[in-house]
């Protein structure tokens, strides 16, 4: 009888541990956007940890011809709630810009839509520029970085408000 109780306890612990691992590694896709040519797509994924409020976003570029994914960035805790982001593509499909309404940013790069420019990626060179207040980098996203890129919709950046 005692061995049966121990075995049942062990199985319950094993099931609970398996469920915890599943919950930690489960991916939630919150956005998917395909380039104008259809060659690439960008996916925003969350891997939620149980009992936490952090929201870390995996920005993943997927080659649609090969199916190969490439993680571009893992954000610090950002942008609750999910669904407040979108991707803007350059007409030639070489750049994508992640914008959203709830990012913690260093520079005021607010578009007329109310969205904030957060991350720019150049696919051919694999260069990343970001506007995160929580990350350091030599490639900070600035208005001049966006000047010569022809996006599929106008990027009208608001003038910064005086403090």
The torsion angles phi and psi of 119, rounded to 5 degrees, stand at: -145, 130
The domains of the chain are located at 2-146
pLDDT, mean over the chain:
82
* Beta strands across the sheet bearing 27-34: 27-34, 40-47, 57-63, 69-74
Q: Which of 10-24, 27-41, 83-97, 113-127 has the lowest mean pLDDT?
A: 10-24
Question: How does pLDDT run across 113-128, given as a tens digit for each residue?
Answer: 999 999 999 999 999 9
Question: How does pLDDT run across 44-76, given as a tens digit for each residue?
Answer: 988 766 666 666 788 999 999 999 999 998 777
């Amino acid at each position: 009888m005692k061995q049966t109780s121990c075995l049942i306890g062990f199985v319950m612990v094993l099931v609970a541990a398996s469920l915890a691992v599943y919950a930690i590694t489960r991916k939630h896709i919150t956005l998917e956007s395909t380039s104008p040519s259809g060659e690439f797509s960008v996916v925003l994924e969350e891997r939620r940890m149980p009992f936490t409020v952090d929201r870390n976003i995996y920005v993943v570029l997927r080659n649609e011809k090969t199916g190969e994914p490439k993680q571009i960035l893992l954000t610090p805790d950002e942008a609750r709630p999910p669904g407040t982001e979108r991707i803007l593509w350059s007409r030639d499909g070489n750049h994508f810009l992640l914008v959203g309404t709830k990012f913690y940013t260093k520079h005021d790069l607010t578009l007329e839509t109310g969205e904030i420019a957060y991350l720019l990626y150049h696919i051919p060179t694999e260069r990343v520029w970001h506007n995160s207040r929580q990350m350091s980098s030599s490639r900070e996203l600035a208005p001049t970085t966006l000047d010569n890129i022809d996006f599929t919709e106008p990027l009208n950046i608001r003038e910064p408000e005086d403090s």
